[in-house]
Amino acid sequence: MKYKLFSRVLSSVLVICMFATACNNSMGNHNDLSTPLTQPMDPSVMKPWINSCLLGEVNDEVNPSLKDDFFVNINHDWITSAKLRPGFSSETPIFQAMDTVKERCLEFLNDKTLKFDDPVLSHDISLIQNYFNLFLDWDERNAIGVEPVKSLVEKIQSISTLDEMTEFLLSNDAFDDSIGLFNILVHTAKEDSSSYEVVISPTNLPLGDSAEYSSLTENGKRIKQANDDKTTYMLKRIGFDDESIKSLLDLSHNFAGKVAKNIMSILESNNSDSLLKTINQVTMDDIKKIEGKLPLSAFMEKYGYASSKLINLNEPKWLDALKDIYADENLDGMKAYFLTYVARIYINRVDEDAFRKNQEINNALRGISESMSDVDLAYQETRLLLPYCFDRIYLNKYVTAEMKNEITSLCKESIDAYRDMLSSIDWLSEETKKAAIKKLDNINIHSLYPDKWEDDSIYQIKSKENGGTYIDAQKAIAKGIIKRQLSYINQKVDKDIWGIDILDTNAYYNPEDNSINIIPGFFCDVTYRSDMSIEEKYGAIGSVIGHEISHAFDTIGSQYDELGNVKNWWTKEDKEAFRNRANKLIEYYDKVVAFDDGTKYSGQMVQTEAIADMAGIKCMLMLAKRVPNFDYDKFFRANARLWARVDTLQVLEALVLTDTHPIAYLRANVTLQQYDEFIETYNIKEGDGMYIAPENRIAVW
């Protein structure tokens, strides 16, 4: 579970394309690991435990005692029997929550007789059923074929001067498909969470991480190969020969590499000072002075963003460099960059042949042997694009006030425990403690569902019977998203609207409104059941709640005040003390060996989530002291079951390079070994794999 910097709106292309990886946080490719490993890694190289999340690494012969590897011991039977479902590169018991939501949502997606007296719900069901059915309308999609790609490609190919490139980038064709060298959205202002600001962000990079362009990792090579395969397939479909395609791929990669040199890497963006570096208020006059021939200001003026009183330039270094890159000598590189981009985004949107090819490439990328069904993919994409429609209908049918009250009560108890925790910390000054408790007292508890929603009447999707097509539906949603963005400009943020999908299989802390979000899409047997014992509730959903609260005080969250504004409330000495404690954790994780190929683990990358895991357990252990005869064994087992998970090698290698969360077995073992209650419950001694001496413990709070 991670805190989520909520973007109430997303760029149209990102929204449309995200669904393919909605349930797989990262991608990779090595060999087919949908079945147990045929060539196991050398576990003797791994430390401090084997990478037991690696599918096939744990078997009947690998079953350590709980004193040596708590995660494997508690989850052994589940791990050895776990199988990947079609279209997935990971498996976890938490997916049961996702299954429950999907089963219920598919019921009302397929119920043609479903009617509501409420006009909002009536509009909701019409929207999602129309989109869902258009996705599955292969006859119409096949009839249209690749024609939409051809017209765009021809327009890009015809560009012969920089002026013509500028004209194209300002065209509706480019705007509708987010074809450009910059990203612009409207978001909660970092320094004034009651207002919106226009945010200018760097160029999208095909490899994701700018660091890949200076030193290509194995994961980067796999992503590049997949991108190249998609581009090659699509360009061949519209008449390009092999030599032309190879030239375009090389030009595109080299152009992206020039741009990438001045964009923060994923690792850099996880530095504690990275947030402040992304706050750079500018005016339209400032932009015009910086942009050179780049049509940034012209784009903002044409499409309505220039009227914003607040404009933030995330990475000035990037824009300053891009204005020089936007030149005649790079025209061919830019054209290639846009041509390959169009090919990649449309392979999943057009006919069935292209769609199946995209599945094949993505499956190889993530180590998947069996594709997800078309119905599941249609559901997944529809829910991603129209989440609040599903949320409202689901809430109307399945969520009770009693559940909301119980979760709210547990959140309040956890906040009370944090108040005691913060008050007792001896390395914080009274000044910082006072500010921290003020922030704690102002945390907004978002339990299960909001009372106010975004207005989805901005979306209108024609049914197949009324002449609607899948691509038209996508464009209608994209236009609705942009319309909503523009409506926020110079307006105040309505914080009664949460801006999240309550059916997401996750939990969040949002620093921009200082809220914890515990939502029904996360509930299943291992996270929350009403019939769980108090120990199990504390070990499962309770530790998650404690985790999310901790994000208010981690290396990123601590830079926001109680209102959600980026503002320092730490003394210099306290901030240094916090960083010193975090550095001890970073040093620990830097020594973790998860694979036998030398892949480096990064403590810097995972520090905020690891800190939050430990704080969540500490919070629950404080509450446990208030419960007579508390059964600590039940508590720790429930927490270990929460993290049960297996992944393909491809995914795990990518997670280590890109994800801010430790691998699941580390989230269980490293977290629990920090606490006396765990050590004492199982009589763990020096020499046991789960033992860590008190002086070597790394819990920050």
Question: Is 412:43 a contact under the CB 8 Å cutoff?
Answer: no
Q: What is the pLDDT of residues 170-191, one digit of tens each?
A: 999 999 999 999 999 999 999 9
* Confidence band for 40, pLDDT divided at 50, 70 and 90: low
Q: What is the pLDDT of residues 611-655, one digit of tens each?
A: 999 999 999 999 999 999 999 999 999 999 999 999 999 999 999
Report which of 306, 271, 220, 224 is spatially closest to residue 486, judged by C-alpha positions: 306
CA angle 150, 154, 158 (to 5 degrees): 175
The string of DSSP codes covering 285-348 is HHHHHH-TT--HHHHHHHHT-TT-S-EEES-HHHHHHHHHHSSGGGHHHHHHHHHHHHHHHHTT
User: What are the counts of helices (DSSP H) followed by strands (DSSP E) for the chain?
Assistant: 30, 9
Is the confidence at residue 27, as pLDDT, over 70? no
Q: Which residues of 519-534 are buried (b: 16+ CB within 10 A; e: fewer)?
A: bbbbbbebbbeeebeb
Q: How far apart are CA 531 and CA 197, in angstroms?
A: 45
Q: How far apart are CA 487 and CA 492, in angstroms?
A: 11
Which CATH fold topology does 146-350 show? Neutral endopeptidase; domain 2 (1.10.1380)
Structural tokens at position 349: 């949107």
3-state secondary structure of 248: helix
CA angle 323, 224, 376 (to 5 degrees): 110
Q: How far apart are CA 472 and CA 601, in angstroms?
A: 44
Q: How far apart are CA 534 and CA 325, in angstroms?
A: 60
Q: What is the pLDDT of residues 483-499, one digit of tens each?
A: 999 999 999 999 999 99
The domain spans of the chain are 146-350
The answer to whether the pTM exceeds 0.95 is no
Instruction: Give me the pLDDT at residue 10, please.
Output: 32
Instruction: Give me the pLDDT at residue 26, please.
Output: 30
* Confidence band for 569, pLDDT divided at 50, 70 and 90: very high
Tell the burial category of 155 from Cβ atoms under 10 Å away from its Cβ (0-12, 13-18, 19+). middle
Instruction: Give me the pLDDT at residue 39, please.
Output: 55
For residues 681-691, average pLDDT:
98
Q: Lowest mean pLDDT of 11-15, 439-443, 497-501, 583-587, name the range.
A: 11-15
Q: How far apart are CA 380 and CA 361, in angstroms?
A: 19
* Confidence band for 555, pLDDT divided at 50, 70 and 90: confident
